[in-house]
Amino acid sequence: MPHCNLTGDPIDPRQAEAAVGGPDRGALASFQGVVRDHHAGRRVRRLEYHAYRPMAEAILAEVAAEAAARFGTPHIAIVHRIGDLGVGETSLLVVVAAVHRREALAACAWLVDEVKARAPIWKKEFGDDGVFWIEGPDGCRVGEPPL
């Protein structure tokens, strides 16, 4: 059964790996999205993630169930941070365990794309040039129309 949640606490990859690993699984694929110090040519100091929690948690469970059916493994963990994050902190963790690497790697990549496309989770970026809400490749400064 997939393990999906939002958390305000730092993400522990080992905890997620232990939750999905098992003696019948020969592959463990993971992805960690980490806060970087720049975006679109601007310096980034920190991020805030906001979410519509009930819907976001339902979407995480939905994409995990879709991945389980599509890739043949229900051994999935998706954890997304909300709240304040500094540069270098993990914002998204996806871990998939499967019998073989091909399924684990494909499921992991697919899940990252689907979470980013479908989950109602928004990123607010704080940097030297101001504060920006980020959605897709562009963003908009707080209080101004989109770029």
**Cβ burial, residue 3 (10 Å; 0-12/13-18/19+):** middle
- Digitized pLDDT (tens) for each residue of the chain, 147 residues in all: 789 999 999 999 999 999 999 999 999 999 999 999 999 899 999 999 999 999 999 999 999 999 999 999 999 999 999 999 999 999 999 999 999 999 999 999 999 999 999 999 999 999 999 999 987 545 555 655 554
Query: Which amino acid is residue 121, in one-letter code?
Result: I
| Nearest one of 91, 90, 73 to 21, comparing CA atoms | 73
Pairing of strands 130-135, 138-141: antiparallel
pTM, two decimal places? 0.91
